[in-house]
Structure 1
Amino acid sequence: MSPAAKAGAAAKTGAAAEATGAPSSAFSAEERAAMKEHAAEVKKARGRQSAADKAAGDLADTVAKIESFEEPDRSIARRLHALVAETAPELAPKLWYGMPSYARDGKVVLFFKDRKKFGSRYATLGFEETAALDDGAMWVTSVALTEPGEDDWARIGELVRKAAG
């Protein structure tokens, strides 16, 4: 099959998937960018010699990422970062797919996704499987954040404390 024919077949397959609602096998540009960020994070971490260098570098990378966010996500991420440091100091900051995250023993417990990351209308506080949030047959795995008030921050603090175990 010629390259032009292959391209045409691929375009038809993508159009057919869109028309039928079937998932496309291609990643979005944002997803590809996140995977590239993750690969760069892993490569950078491997270059750090000692555990202290790694921890300091991860903290600096996390703070730099937070500072790169647009408002109001920057303020939300700053406050979340301070809250995690205060209520769950055992969680180590690090970047995870280009998002500030907090890990225990190298495994992500929670993360912050700014609204620009995937073109969302809200930022997200997400929890991975290592978060100790299990509560019966159903529990929270993410929370949408627009501009949290004080009551919201109190609830976020409870979730972080519980997630950290």
Structure 2
Amino acid sequence: MSRTYEGFTAEERAAMKTHAAEVRKEARAGSRADKAAEAVRDVLAKIAEMPTSDRIMAERVHAVVTANAPMLAPKLWYGMPAYALDGKIVCFFQNADKFKARYATFGFNDLAELDEGTMWATSFALTEVTAEVEERLAALVRQWW
């Protein structure tokens, strides 16, 4: 039985084009403060565009990350709200609608160093952001710094 590679999905191609536009926009931006302010506006605008259930989760995730890891700078990453340290993405929120998934995801890149023995989770499925989920996310984003 052989499988044929059908290439990237339309959603994946769109995410790559979005990321290329983000990189170009960041290169054109003015001062560091202007870039940071514009990045926050872009993240909040992207969250506002999300379908209701994703938007509610993204707003709560954004509040948790910015309150518990203030050194992380919000920015868009492949069209997703993300949080960076010195320009490098530490964590991100991927809404379910983005790739037609059944749940949203909150993920960490290796810079977060969530290492726990020889195996650990780097992303978490979200169907709702409850008070308990907020506490777990807060602990995770505080863990590495």
Q: TM-score range by the shorter chain?
A: over 0.9
Structure 2: 5+ residue stretches without partners:
none
Larger Rg: 1
Letter in 2 for 1:33: A
Give me the whole-angstrom Cα distance separating, in 2, the residues matched to 1:147 and 1:82. Answer: 15
| Partner deviation per Cα, 1:10-33 (whole Å, 9 max, x = no partner) | xxxxxxxxx6235x1611111100
Give me the whole-angstrom Cα distance separating, in 2, the residues matched to 1:49 and 1:25. Answer: 40
Pick from 38, 42, 46: which aligns with 1:65? 46
1:148 Cα shift? 2.7
Give me the whole-angstrom Cα distance separating, in 1, the residues matched to 2:111 and 2:127. Answer: 25
| Partner deviation per Cα, 1:77-130 (whole Å, 9 max, x = no partner) | 111111111100000000000000000011000000000111100000011011
Corresponding residue of 1:113: 94
Pick from 21, 24, 39: which aligns with 2:3? 21
Corresponding residue of 2:11: 30
Query: After superposition, where does 1:48-87 map in structure 2 within 5 Å?
Result: 48-87=29-68
Higher-RCO chain (CA-CA 8 Å, sequence separation at least 6): 2
**Residue 9 of structure 2 corresponds to residue 43 of structure 1:** no
Secondary structure at the aligned position of 2:110 is classed as: coil
CA contact 2:106–2:125 (8 Å) conserved in 1? yes
TM-score in terms of structure 2 length: 0.95
Corresponding residue of 1:139: 120
Letter in 2 for 1:145: L
Corresponding residue of 1:14: none
TM-score in terms of structure 1 length: 0.84
